[in-house]
Chain A
Amino acid sequence: MEIRELTAADLPALMQLENALFGSEAWKETPFRSELEGKFTYYFGAFDGGLIGYAGLHSVPASFTSDIQTLAIATAHQGHGLGRTLAKKLIAKAFALGAETVFLEVRVDNQTAINLYASLGFEQIDIRKNYYQPSGTDAMVMKLVLDQPIVLGVESSCDETGIGIVKGNRLLANALHSSMDEHAKFGGVVPEVAARAHLEALQPTIAQALKEANLTMSQIDAIAVANGPGLAGALMVGIGAAKALAIAHNLPIYAVNHLVGHVGADVLENGTVSLPTIALLVSGGHTSLLLVRDLLDDVELLGETIDDAAGEAFDKVARVLGLPYPGGPQIDRLAETGNPKAIRFPRGLSLPKDMEAHRFDFSFSGLKTAVARHVEKASDGGLEISKPDVAASFREAVVDVLLTKAINACELHGVKRLLLGGGVVANARLRQVAKIRCGEADIQLRIPRFSLCTDNGAMIASIGAQSIMAGRPASGIGFGAESTLEVTKVQTL
């Protein structure tokens, strides 16, 4: 016997079984088709030769509830536990989708089904009179409460110490301590300074997260920690802490990929990450273009920066213009009054010759040098430059190349979705141009709130929770920091 998800192609077999079982009360073909094709419905069929049973679930993202729509077993196959198998399949699916409650209606005279659901933990909460027509039979409404896992996530890959707590798909806390100010005088993140700051921020940030969530450590079900990619010395602080937290309360620990965390952040905003999606992650440490078909199983790196990260380029150009660190907000402000077309700065890796080897890769170091040359040349010649024009033209070049490549990736892979993540998402022009270009190309754009875009512990907790909800095993306790962890490795076992 095989159990698989049903599609509209299975409709004839489904209708045949539905009519045989329910006669005058059977669902009609048209509504059943829309059930199978629905965006938020999940139907499973059991096959042994032909279709011998089916069951369906309805679950709207961010509603935190699921409904069992139907469950039917061919007469000849009843009484062998197939109903239980399919019901459990639906419950597992509801759990994985983040449901905290599952509802269903069942005929009050169907004692076999009522017993089955009761044995799975469902309880009667209501009776609906004359629910089934034409017979006028009453329906019993039943409810199952699912305990979604409470996961504490630890993020320490760069200059933010993040401790987040989630319950399934729900965000409970997102405490953050940034050491950004301590890096300001150096013009960029100094790894040793970041690692020192993590150690100092650890205890207060854990305490703050627990307070925000109104929880104690003994109520946490699992620990998740980012073990890469990132600064090794910084990652190691988070890993040391996370392992001790797990051991203290005998909890499973999940070592998860920081970059995939940025994608998983949208679950906390949206109830799900609509897949497949292209993800453009842009920060001071990363500039990566991903194709995500499955959050836990299928993340592909399409391209990344071959030199500076985009955020790093903002910092360096800010410095050239005599602006303080971090450069992003400074340049953004200055650029507001500048002309983005005043100077045509280069778009790295965008020439026809680059398309073969670097179609979706980025390069910002040449751009930074071009800006520096422009400024130095003017100053050597005793000429006044318009800093707003330089800032606006530079910003335009970065935004243009990021979005041109991201949208090309959407087009090439036939994926009409784009998710933005990373600290550079704070850039007003990036968000503005993303909205315009995605609108033109009919691409659905997702930008989580800023506190979930920058590095944070909640996104790490979210990947941990998704792993548990999907029934994945925990990591062992012997993993280390992997500063160049590949994005394909979502969890380190």
Chain B
Amino acid sequence: MILAIDTSAGTSAAVFDGANRLSFINFDDRFGHAENIGLAIQAVLKEARIVPADLTLVAIGRGPAPYTGLRVGIAAGIAMATALNIQACGVITLNAVARKHPVGKILVVADAKRKELFIAGFQDGEQVISPSVSNLQDLENHLGFQQVSGECDASLIGEYAVFAVDQKLDLTDTSALYLRSPDVTPSAGKRVTG
């Protein structure tokens, strides 16, 4: 039994039993991750008629996505796995979205704020451009690709986890995929007198 959690956009959770999705919920609020994470997890467990002890794996959306919200889901996923003493796996959201487009040249594009984009490219399901930060101009370098929205949710994360378990992919890294350093530079120190 898999619990999937994703806070890359809204706050969403899903429960999967093998390949079947038993439940799913998404709170669309882009600023209410801390408020909604518990409600989302409780709701999907209830709808799937399971208790936390039934879980065997927690699948966590690692982003890339706006970090403040993203971290809430990752924190919850790590804590859930720790508390239940079960495995956690991390899924890159762009990869999860790409699974929906197994044919052709696909560029998954997600909002990175500050006029930037998170992108990853796939050709017939194989990754050809690693997750990276881009801007609108740079997108012109990828003219042969069909652009698709990188908006992700726990349902896609769960589907990818099911696939990854089947394919025995290594998803042990559950850290946030930041792709950008914190927006801060050491200041030289200012004088107070003129």
Contact = CB atoms under 8 A, between A and B. Distances in A.
Contact of A243 (B71, B76, B178): B76
Interface string A462-493: 00000000000000011111000000000000
Contacts of A195: 67-68, 71
A185 interface: yes
A385 interface: no
A240 B193 contact: no
A199 B71 CA distance: 7
A239 B71 CA distance: 10
B88 to A, nearest CB: 9
Contacts of B76: 240-241, 243-244
Contacts of A186: 184, 186-187
Contact of A199 (B39, B80, B175): B175
A239 B68 CA distance: 12
Nearest to B36: A478
Interface stretch (B27-35, B96-104, B142-150, B161-169): B27-35
A232 interface: yes
A428 to B, nearest CB: 26
Contact of B83 (A193, A200, A245, A376): A245
B38 to A, nearest CB: 4
Contacts of B51: 250
B83 A477 contact: no
A493 to B, nearest CB: 13
Given A195-B67, A377-B193, A243 B38 contact: yes
B80 A244 contact: yes
A207 B191 contact: no
B107 interface: no
Given A246-B38, A373-B192, A236 B184 contact: no
Given A186-B184, A372-B191, A248 B42 contact: no
Nearest to B70: A199
Interface residues of B, number: 43
Given A192-B184, A195-B68, A247-B38, A241 B192 contact: no
Given A206-B82, A239-B72, A244 B186 contact: no
B182 A192 contact: yes
B176 A196 contact: yes
Interface centre among B67, B73, B83, B178, by most chain A C-beta atoms within 10 angstroms, is B83
Nearest to A186: B186
B94 interface: no
B120 interface: no
Nearest to B7: A240
Contacts of B184: 186, 190, 192-193
Contacts of B45: 247
Contacts of B191: 372, 376
Contacts of B7: 240
B128 interface: no
Contacts of B82: 202-203, 206-207, 217, 245
Contact of A369 (B39, B67, B178, B192): B192
B78 interface: yes
Interface centre among B79, B85, B186, by most chain A C-beta atoms within 10 angstroms, is B79
Given A236-B34, A249-B52, A202 B75 contact: yes
A247 B46 CA distance: 11
A87 interface: no
Contact of A240 (B79, B83, B175, B186): B79
A319 interface: yes
Interface of B: 7, 32-39, 41-42, 45, 51-52, 67-69, 71-80, 82-85, 175-176, 178, 182-184, 186-187, 189, 191-193
8 contacts: A195-B68, A196-B182, A200-B175, A236-B72, A240-B71, A240-B79, A243-B38, A478-B39
Closest 7 CB pairs of A and B: A248-B83, A240-B75, A243-B38, A477-B38, A240-B72, A241-B79, A244-B76
Given A195-B68, A206-B79, A240-B71, 19 more contacts: A187-B187, A195-B67, A195-B71, A196-B178, A199-B71, A202-B78, A203-B82, A207-B82, A233-B71, A236-B71, A237-B75, A240-B74, A241-B76, A244-B41, A245-B82, A247-B41, A247-B52, A319-B189, A380-B193
